Amino acid sequence: MTDTTVDVRALTLSYRRLVLWFGGQLVLNLGSFALPLFAPGRAIAALFGLVFAAAMLTTIGALAYFGFRTAKALGSRVAWLWAIAMFVPCANVISLLALSSKATQACATRGIPVGLFGPKVPSGESAQHAG
């Protein structure tokens, strides 16, 4: 990934969404452990299980999409590979950490603060001056 081809506005938007979707996936995973404790019957537990499965598939798809968008904004020529890695169990966490590290470094280089919920998205005018 070359430093000169970074699209700052696209990077901050896609990286922030990637972080937020990952947080959503963590919440779903924690919720899956609590599901048996709060589901009163088998039918409701099965219904919650289906909703949980659909939500997990949605988060995995969103992680792949925003992983692709983040890598593309960083100037990667193999952004599609980052997206595919998000579908592979365990490898997705490693890929997410590596991509997050690159994106955080690119944001820090441009003076864009990155916090718990991802980078602060610059306004229209400051985004033009940031890159």
**Half-sphere exposure in the Cβ direction for 52 (13 Å, CA):** 18
CB-CB contact of 49 with 111 (8 Å): no
Q: What is the pLDDT of residues 13-69, one digit of tens each?
A: 999 999 999 999 988 888 877 777 766 677 777 787 788 889 999 999 999 999 999
Helix (H), strand (E) at residue 1: none
* 17 closest CA partner among 127, 121, 126: 121
pTM of the entire predicted model:
0.78
Beta pairing, strands 118-119 & 114-115: antiparallel
How far, in Å, are 4, 82, 93, 102, 129 from residue 98 at the CA level?
19, 10, 9, 6, 27
